[in-house]
Structure formats: structure tokens, C-alpha cells
Amino acid sequence: MDEVRNDDRMTFAKALHEDFFTSYPGFEGFRPASSNHIFTTSVRVGLTQSINKVTEFLGVEMERIRHKMWPDKNGGLDLRTL
């Protein structure tokens, strides 16, 4: 894990820069997010600490959607019908 953390090629700021197209005209508003540590800290602290709550909710929601799309037959999912 430390190898990834210490690798300059894998920075959150660089990912934001690439994913939010901060060098493209019209997307300049996203540049501050990729250049300051306030956004990075907010994501790390806010999202990381609440990941367990989100994961539990997503698991329940995905099970509900799966059951709606592919109903159980005889207590199990019949893969032959997919």
C-alpha cells in the first residue's frame, strides 16, 4: 500500500485533473479542486469515514434491483434463463 501511496504517478490531484478535464476551455472552474488540499481532505475524511454506511445501503439496493430484474426460482437464481 505504501508503494502506491508514495508513487507520484498515482495522485488524487492528477486524477482530478484528468477526470474533470481541467485543462479544457470551459472547465476551468474545476482547477481549484485539483490544485488545493481542501477538496482532497474533504474526500478523504468525509467519504472514507462514511463508506460503511454507503456500502450497506448499496448492497441492499442492489439486491432489491437484482431480485426485480431476475426473480428467484425455487429459492435461487436460475442462470440458464439469463
How does pLDDT run across 27-67, given as a tens digit for each residue? 888 777 667 777 778 877 877 778 877 888 888 899 889 88
Cell triple for 47 = 467519504
Residues 6+ apart with CB under 8 A from 70: 77, 81, 82
φ, ψ (nearest 5 deg) of residue 10 = -115, 65
Residue bearing cell 435461487: 76
Q: Read off the pLDDT of each residue in 72-76 and give the average, rounded to a whole number.
A: 65
pTM for the whole thing? Answer: 0.42
d(CA 76, CA 71): 8
Yes or no: say if 54 and 68 are a contact pair by the CB < 8 Å rule. Answer: no
- Could you give the CA distance from residue 74 to residue 80 in angstroms, rounded to a whole number? 14
Judge whether residue 82 has pLDDT over 70.
no
